[in-house]
Amino acid sequence: SPPFPPPPPPGPGGGGGGRGRPARPAGGGGGGGPGRGAGGSHFVLLSAFCVRKPLLQFQNAKLKLEAALTAPERADILHAIVRPTAFFKSLSGQLEVVEAGAPFVMFEKDDGSMMKCNPIAEADLAEYMVNCFEDVSLQNRILDLGGPDDPLSMKEQGELLFKAVGKEPKFITVPSKLFDVIIGGLDFLAKFFPGMADTAEFGRIGKYYAVEDMVAVGEGEKYGKVTLGMAQEIPLICASGPQPPTQLTQPTQLTH
Model pLDDT for residues 228-254, shown as the tens digit of each residue: 877 445 555 555 544 444 443 344 444
The answer on pLDDT for 157 being more than 60 is yes
pTM of the model: 0.75
Q: Are 197 and 190 in contact (CB under 8 A)?
A: yes
Residue 95 confidence (pLDDT)? 81
- Interatomic CA distance for residues 198 and 151, integer angstroms: 31
Provide the residue type at 17 as one letter: G
Among 3.40.640.10, 3.30.2350.10, 3.40.50.720, 3.90.1150.10, what is the CATH number of 21-237? 3.40.50.720
The answer on pLDDT for 134 being more than 60 is yes
Angle, CA 189 vertex, CA 185 and CA 192 arms, to 5° = 160
Residue 239 confidence (pLDDT)? 54
Backbone angles phi, psi at 212, to 5 degrees: -95, 130
- Interatomic CA distance for residues 109 and 246, integer angstroms: 23
HSE, side-chain direction, 13 A CA sphere, residue 168:
0
Other beta carbons less than 10 A from residue 175's beta carbon: 14
For the chain, what is the radius of gyration of the CA atoms? 20
Q: What angle do helix axes 177-190 and 196-211 make, rounded to 10 degrees? A: 170
Residue 22 confidence (pLDDT)? 57
- Interatomic CA distance for residues 209 and 245, integer angstroms: 13
Q: Are 150 and 222 in contact (CB under 8 A)?
A: no
Model pLDDT for residues 7-37, shown as the tens digit of each residue: 333 333 333 334 455 554 433 333 343 334 4
Domain boundaries of the chain, sorted by first residue:
21-237
Predicted confidence band at 124 (pLDDT cuts at 50, 70, 90)? very high
More confident residue, 34 or 174: 174
Provide the residue type at 93 as one letter: G
- Interatomic CA distance for residues 48 and 142, integer angstroms: 10
